């Protein structure tokens, strides 16, 4: 049970967890819009932390330095229509946090207990009326174990690499599919094997494999469950 005075437990949470490229980001965003609920993109929080590590020149191996920085850093999300801007020290870094190298560093520092501990409170504060769709790796297992509904979205590493390849290509970035596939596999291993909050479905999660489904089909499935 989560304790603390600031968490309105009566506010419902839908947790959407899964590996990168499983479609959980798109699904969570559409679901939050559909329900008129708040959205927590916890991956963006880890990416912002990674960017703050780079900006402040913190040694990624210095656990206490990382923890103090993650506790004190000035990060914010600003909703502008259907788009959410990520701010670090007041500057818009929405595009920079999506860079592959930032994702890789995010996944490395996410394995550090002090960093995860520093981000717990920040994530739980998103639980505000009328409800919250929380997208991440440990939403249903650690951050919101009392979530009303837990969805675990997965897909084969091959298809996730192809989706990511298309996304980056559409953005005009030069990418290599084989390298992306290798990075996705490496990130899966890191996320699944870390000691703290490893990526795994909660016992009461509904598992959806999106390997052979398009985003519309996944969304319809999720809405059916909701
Ligand atoms: O989901 P996204 O790719 O943006 O997340 C970046 C990294 O942050 C992930 O690879 C994962 O290691 C970490 N992360 C996490 N727990 C979360 C969300 C993200 O460890 N709840």
pLDDT tens-place string over residues 85-99: 999 999 999 999 998
How much is the pLDDT for 9? 74
- To test ligand 1's pocket by mutation, which of 136, 163, 192, 197 has the most ligand atoms within 8 angstroms of CB? 136
Instruction: Tell me the per-residue pLDDT of 152-162, one tens digit each, with 9 for 90 and over.
Output: 999 999 999 99
Where helices occur in 96-214 by DSSP H, the ranges are: 100-109, 113-124, 157-170, 177-193
Break the chain into its structural domains and give their ranges. Answer: 13-221
Least confident of 50-59, 75-84, 115-124: 75-84
How much is the pLDDT for 51? 97
Give the residue whose CA is nearest to atom 20 of ligand 1.
110
In this model, does residue 3 exceed pLDDT 70? no
Ligand 1 binding site (Cβ under 6 Å of any ligand atom): 20, 42-43, 46-47, 103, 106-107, 110, 136-138, 187, 191
Instruction: Tell me the per-residue pLDDT of 17-52, one tens digit each, with 9 for 90 and over.
Output: 999 889 999 999 999 999 999 999 999 999 999 999
Give the residue whose CA is nearest to atom 10 of ligand 1.
107
How much is the pLDDT for 82? 75
In this model, does residue 4 exceed pLDDT 80? no
Alpha-carbon distance 8 to 39, whole Å? 16
How much is the pLDDT for 7? 61
How much is the pLDDT for 83? 83
Instruction: Tell me the per-residue pLDDT of 69-84, one tens digit each, with 9 for 90 and over.
Output: 999 999 999 988 778 8
Band the pLDDT of 1: cuts 50, 70, 90: very low
Mean pLDDT of the chain: 92
Alpha-carbon distance 50 to 36, whole Å? 30
Alpha-carbon distance 23 to 93, whole Å? 22
Two tokens, residue 216: 């519309």
How much is the pLDDT for 47? 97
Q: What is the mean pLDDT of residues 103-116?
A: 93
- To test ligand 1's pocket by mutation, which of 97, 105, 107, 135 has the most ligand atoms within 8 angstroms of CB? 107
In this model, does residue 2 exceed pLDDT 70? no
In this model, does residue 129 exceed pLDDT 80? yes
How much is the pLDDT for 174? 85
Fold of 13-221: Rossmann fold (3.40.50)
Per-residue exposure over 23-35, b if at least 16 CB sit within 10 Å of its own CB, e if not: bbbebbbbbbeeb
């Amino acid at each position: 049970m989560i304790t603390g005075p600031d968490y309105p437990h009566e506010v419902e949470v839908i947790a959407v967890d899964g590996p990168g490229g499983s479609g959980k980001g798109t699904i969570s965003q559409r679901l939050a819009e559909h329900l008129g609920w708040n959205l927590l993109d916890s991956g963006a929080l880890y990416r912002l932390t990674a960017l703050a590590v780079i900006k402040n020149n913190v040694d990624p191996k210095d656990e206490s330095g990382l923890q103090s920085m993650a506790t004190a850093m000035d990060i914010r999300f600003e909703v502008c229509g259907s788009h959410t801007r990520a701010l670090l020290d007041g500057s818009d870094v929405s595009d920079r946090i999506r860079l592959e190298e930032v994702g890789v560093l995010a996944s490395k520092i996410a394995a550090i207990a002090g960093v995860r501990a520093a981000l717990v409170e920040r994530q739980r504060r998103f639980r505000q009326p009328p409800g919250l769709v929380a997208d991440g790796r440990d939403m249903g297992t650690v951050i919101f174990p009392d979530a009303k509904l837990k969805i675990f979205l997965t897909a084969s590493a091959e298809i996730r690499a192809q989706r990511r390849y298309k996304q980056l290509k559409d953005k005009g970035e030069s990418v290599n599919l084989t390298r992306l596939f290798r990075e996705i596999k490496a990130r899966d291993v890191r996320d699944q094997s870390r000691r703290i909050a490893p990526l795994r479905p909660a016992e009461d999660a509904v598992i959806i494999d999106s390997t052979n489904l398009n985003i519309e089909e996944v969304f319809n499935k999720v809405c059916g469950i909701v």
